[in-house]
Amino acid sequence: MRNFINIAAVSFMLLLSQCSASKDRMIMTVKGPVKASEMGVSLTHEHILVDFIGADSVNESRWDKSIVSEKAMPYLLAIKKLGCKTFVECTPEYIGRDPVLLKSLSESTGLNIITNTGYYGAANDKYVPKHAYEKSAEELASGWVDEWNNGIGSTGIKPGFIKIGVDSKSLSDIDRKLVIAAAKTHLNTGLIIASHTGPAIPALEQLEILEKEGVDPEAFIWVHAQGEKDLSNHIKAAKMGSWIGLDGINEDNCEEYVRLIKNLKDNDLLDKVLLSHDAGWYDPAKENGGEFRGFTTLFEKLIPLLKAEGFTEKEIDQLMITNPAEAYAVRIRKLN
Ligand SMILES: [Zn+2]
């Protein structure tokens, strides 16, 4: 009996410590740390600004922050009105990342906004800076870890995740280097790795690299997984622990997204799904930034469709609140 009580007491304490650990989890926003439990309804893959000029020419003088702000503001206020609390901005350095712009938008809208560290190796490496070819993965990682420790440049603003990108075929040498650098950065920061990927071949190759580096697949978001047509690969990666980013929602594809989400639900993997639009995109090369795509379709069209298909309120909360907090809470996810 006494043994039993001891075991019960110990397991209760363990449970308590686990509870308080998950209660104390933090996400890192452009305004500083916020409790993961307060992240709320979140869009996990969106953009304010993307500059397609290329790594050798991009610089902040190509856009006027106040004009970009003015353009983006109504779209952010629209999602706030729909109950969204957190906006994950996925534009990496060398393709238009502007943490100061994001911070001012966060201050004026009251939304949590999260920015990133890392380099984007998709689009045939147009956005990979020259030094990435010369430096080792360790050296790249040390630059990204430095942004976490000391803030981005002189802004004092810290990244809340690692954003990389790879091309949609088998990984190239530079893609591989970026993935290794991201793995090393994760182990030093606890920031989750969101990798623009698309098809399964590079997704599974990245998971293999992470494993070699000792990183749990739970620290990896397979971004643009809707690009993979064989849905058994979503199941395979999610069962390994990877997050499945279904993040290209628009007015015309909501039915298809219901099918993709149901596939994961039917396999008990709803807790691995992250949803978003990959919308926005003020483009400095275009007159007044070009056409800006809003972020409301998920709320106005996809969620009602999911409910019509029998998804419960709890399952919607899982997709929109629980999963984002679990993914973006900063913590090291190491393989034992
Ligand atoms: Zn994107």
pTM to 2 decimal places: 0.93
Distance (Å) from CA 13 to ligand 1 centroid: 42
Tokens matching residue 52? 């397609």
Distance (Å) from CA 99 to ligand 1 centroid: 16
Q: What is the band of 13 on the pLDDT scale with cuts at 50, 70, 90?
A: very low
pLDDT at res. 1: 44
Distance of alpha carbon 15 from the chain centroid: 29
Looking at residues 52-60, what average pLDDT do you find? 93
Looking at residues 281-286, what average pLDDT do you find? 96
Distance (Å) from CA 103 to ligand 1 centroid: 19
Distance (Å) from CA 1 to ligand 1 centroid: 58
Report H helices in the chain: 2-23, 65-81, 99-109, 131-134, 137-150, 173-189, 200-213, 232-240, 254-266, 297, 303-308, 313-317, 323-328
pLDDT at residue 183 tops 80: yes
Tokens matching residue 182? 């991201």
Distance (Å) from CA 223 to ligand 1 centroid: 8
Distance (Å) from CA 46 to ligand 1 centroid: 6
pLDDT at residue 122 tops 70: yes
Rounded CA separation 178/138 (Å):
10
Q: Do residues 162 and 193 touch, judged by C-beta distance below 8 A? A: yes
pLDDT at residue 59 tops 90: yes
Distance (Å) from CA 242 to ligand 1 centroid: 18
Distance (Å) from CA 74 to ligand 1 centroid: 20
134-171 pLDDT tens trace: 999 999 999 999 999 999 999 999 999 999 999 999 99
209-219 pLDDT tens trace: 999 999 999 99
Which residue, 48, 70, 174, is CA-closest to 115? 48
Q: Which of 121-130, 197-206, 307-316 has the least mean pLDDT?
A: 121-130
Extract long-range pairs of 18-25: CB within 8 Å, 24+ residues apart.
22/329, 25/325, 25/329, 25/330, 25/331
Q: What is the 3-state secondary structure (H, E, C) of 121-186?
A: CCHHHCCCCCHHHHCCHHHHHHHHHHHHHHCCCCCCCCCCEEEEECCCCCCCHHHHHHHHHHHHHH
**Type of residue numbered 78:** A
Q: Which of 122-126, 130-134, 271-275 has the least mean pLDDT?
A: 122-126
pLDDT at residue 222 tops 90: yes
> For residue 138, what are the CA distances in angstroms to 3, 134, 181, 302, 333?
49, 12, 6, 41, 19
Distance (Å) from CA 193 to ligand 1 centroid: 14
% residues pLDDT > 70 (the chain): 93
Distance (Å) from CA 225 to ligand 1 centroid: 12
Distance (Å) from CA 247 to ligand 1 centroid: 8
Distance (Å) from CA 134 to ligand 1 centroid: 26
Distance (Å) from CA 50 to ligand 1 centroid: 9
User: Which residues make beta-bridge pairs with 312?
Assistant: none
Q: What is the band of 9 on the pLDDT scale with cuts at 50, 70, 90?
A: very low
